[in-house]
Amino acid sequence: MRRTPRIATLALATLLAGMLVALGCSSRKQVTTAETTPPPAPPTETETAPPPPSAPPPSETTTEPQASALQDAFFDFDAADLRADAKSALENNGKYLERAGSASVVIEGHCDERGSVEYNLALGERRARAAKDFLVSYGIPATRLTTISYGKERPFDAGHDESAWAKNRRAHFVSK
């Protein structure tokens, strides 16, 4: 009876040793193949790369507006009322959208880090809605404007002072 546990122990040790050898060999093969693969040869002076595709020359008569023309509308602390500078930015955005034909935008409502998540999501929605309502009254079709609130979850400035918070209280415009 003493032989059975010894044989089982010996068999288990042999099995484990075989597994360790197999693992060691497989990792060694990966290293050696990586070492033996020659790096690609650098281009010689006689080889020339194909010329880069040429961009069309800038045209002074380009009528398509650029998305970078969209401006953020900023808000006071704990408010969704449009300030004078926000109205000016929204008028510029309205002019852009008039020229852009059928371009659509997403208006993102953002808040600073103060207040609860739920409160800031609601405040961000009110800010985005105020910007949308202004643009609709300006003459932009509501079907081209979508709103979403990110509350305090996507700050523009990660600072923890009034300067950073003022940058984060905004309606941000993203072209679709």
Q: What does the angle CA 83 – CA 68 – CA 173 come to, to the nearest 5 degrees?
A: 50
Q: Is the pLDDT of residue 58 over 90?
A: no
Distance of CA 100 to the CA centre of its chain: 24
pTM over 0.75: no
Give the confidence band of 24 by pLDDT, cuts at 50, 70, 90.
low
Q: What residues have CB less than 8 Å from 153, skipping those under 6 apart?
A: 117
Q: Is the pLDDT of residue 74 over 70?
A: yes
